[in-house]
Structure 1
Amino acid sequence: MKLQLKNPIVFFDLETTGINIAKDRIVEIAILKVNIDGKEESFCYKVNPEMPIPPETTAIHGISDKDVKDAPTFKKLGKEIAKIMEGCDIAGFNSNKFDVPLLAEEFIRAEVDFDMKKRKFVDVQTIFHKMEKRTLTAAYKFYCDKNLEDAHSAAADTRATYEVLLSQLDRYPDLENDVEFLNDFSSFNKNADFIGRIIFNDKGQEVFNFGKYKGQPVEAVLEKDPSYYGWMMKGDFPLFTKKVLTNIKLRGFNKK
């Protein structure tokens, strides 16, 4: 099975200081770029997160403070990573819920202008969970009949994710070998931000997906309760969520 592509696609995986999208940082990023002609390019970078890596996190991925103390920061790497990913669709394992939102945060902090919303996103874990409901190690064994060596190594996980997707396309006739289809299939919600605090309803309106205004149009809420904007901007929400919120607020001003 060869992946049919309209654009190049990058499979990527992050190792991080933790799982808080708003606060934690990347310590390693691995990228497998598959070009339209099938040619593959691999990249892997250690990243200085500019914060301590908790011992319990090191125990999972094996990367300690000393491993990254001399590595470049994401601010220094951001433009290079953006250049690799420019014009590419994006895929990963649990990427829509974690890797993509966290990478978006890092791009914003590094002041790298990279519009991730122009991409198609394929989350191989979502396809797996909809079809079989297991983990990457189990997926690799189930679909590829291989044992995943060096699990939680970003490079190994990235390669395994790519191979699992190819095997999923072979196994399931209902899956179309088309990145746009896979983008739609591997998304549970139509998110306006990456973590699903703001989603699109059936009318294409941005609505809140949490809290006391859940299900209500964001623009209408900000009109009737302007203080809610300030509360969110001061709150522990990802930078990208705040960026989306601000864009909606500015759009409302422009309509007046």
Structure 2
Amino acid sequence: MSASTTLWTDRPLLGFDTETTGTNVAADRIVTVALVHSVGPGRENETVATWLIDPEMDIPEPAQRVHGISTEHARAHGMKAAEALDEVAEMIADALRQDIPLVAFNISFDLAILENELTRLGLPTLTQRLGHDIAPVLDGLVLDRGVDRYRKGKRTLTDVLAHYGLEQDGRLHTADVDVSATLDVLRALTAKFPTLGTSSLEDLHREQMGWHRRWAEGMNEWLTKKGKTPDVNTVWPL
């Protein structure tokens, strides 16, 4: 296989994850970010950058239980949000400009809260820095739903790791561990479904948009039948 047709799984990837004060992308704040630059399978091929941020609000108890970071710890040791998130956004934008895909598990959440935080802080958003939509993006959750549509059961990161027989080597819901686990999932997916690895990043990005829309429309139909508000966003990744 020539260099020009090297599988994207063998080229650089940038994994991304946030831990936050909650799940409301419009009102909650980012507490930690991890970016993991990967140049091949194995932790020895990963370079990890992490940020601890003072969210300048109390971290609710449920969120503390998830990621283990207290309000006091974040205040004492965290960076100012503007400084940290400007660094994060520029590193992501720089990778995307080089066609290095941004990888996450349920990336819509992480991108939405990052863009909202950047706007709140008066900083250029990722979209503004790039001058176009955020791409190429690879989402372990969307890919798994797309290629194995009818599999029963939950699809949390823990569940998907278990399905592919992957061991996590650290505490999940620590941003850098979640990123490394997501990179493992991506490689397991391409091993089981080889056409993923041979697709171009552009085609795969477009395919994920369709897979997400199909899933979201199905979820909205189900919610409507249950008498609930059909509020699942059909647009991916943002």
* Same fold (TM > 0.5): yes
The number of residue pairs the alignment matches comes to 192
- The structure-2 alpha-carbon separation of the partners of 1:7 and 1:107, relative to structure 1 and needing over 3 Å to count, comes to farther
* TM-aligned CA distance change 1:87 to 1:147, over 3 Å: closer
The answer to whether the 8 Å contact 1:7/1:35 transfers is yes
160-169 or 77-86, which moves further after superposition?
77-86
Q: Which amino acid aligns with 1:185?
A: E
**Secondary structure of 1:168 counterpart:** helix
Residue from 74, 77, 80 that aligns with 1:73: 80
1:105-156 CA distances to partner (integer Å, 9 max, x unpaired)? 1122233324332422211111123324522112112224324641111111
Stretch of structure 1 that moved more, 85-94 or 173-182: 173-182
Question: Unmatched 5+ residue regions in structure 2?
Answer: 1-5, 128-132, 217-229, 232-237
Q: 1:179 aligns to what? A: 201
Query: How big is each residue's C-alpha offset from its partner over 1:68-108, in whole Å with a ceiling of 9 and x where there is no partner?
Result: 10311221112221232123232200112x11111111122
CA shift, 1:60, in A, is: 1.5
- Aligned partner of 1:249 in structure 2 is none
Please give the residue correspondences for 1:46-61 in structure 2 after superposition, counting only pairs within 5 Å: 46-61=52-67
Structure whose alpha-carbon radius of gyration is higher: 1
* Structure 1 contact 140–148 (Cα < 8 Å) conserved: no
Normalized against structure 2, the TM-score is what? 0.70
Partner-residue secondary structure (3-state), 1:18: coil
Q: After superposition, give the CA deviation of every residue in 1:186-210 in whole Å (9 maximum; x if it has no partner).
A: 33249xxxx9xxxxxxxxxxxxx97
1:82 to 89, 111, 120: 89
Query: Highest relative contact order (Cα 8 Å, sep 6+), 1 or 2?
Result: 2
Paired residue type of 2:85:
G
Give distance in 2, aligned partners of 1:165 and 1:7. 13
1:13 aligns with 2:29: no
Displacement, 1:3? 5.2
Q: Does the C-alpha gap of structure 1 residues 115 and 58 become closer, same or farther in structure 2, counting only changes over 3 Å?
A: closer
Going by fraction, where is helix more abundant, 1 or 2? 2
Match of 1:119 in 2: 135
Percent identity of the aligned residues? 28
Q: Which runs of 5+ in 1 are unaligned?
A: 196-208, 211-240, 242-256
Task: Give the letter aligned to residue 21 of structure 1.
Answer: V
**C-alpha contact 1:136 1:161 (8 A) present in aligned 2:** yes
User: Is the Cα–Cα contact under 8 Å of residues 7 and 197 in structure 2 kept in the other structure?
Assistant: no
CA RMSD of aligned residues (A): 3.0
Counterpart of 2:63 in structure 1: which amino acid?
A: T
Q: Relative to structure 2, which stretch is displaced further, 175-184 or 10-19?
A: 175-184
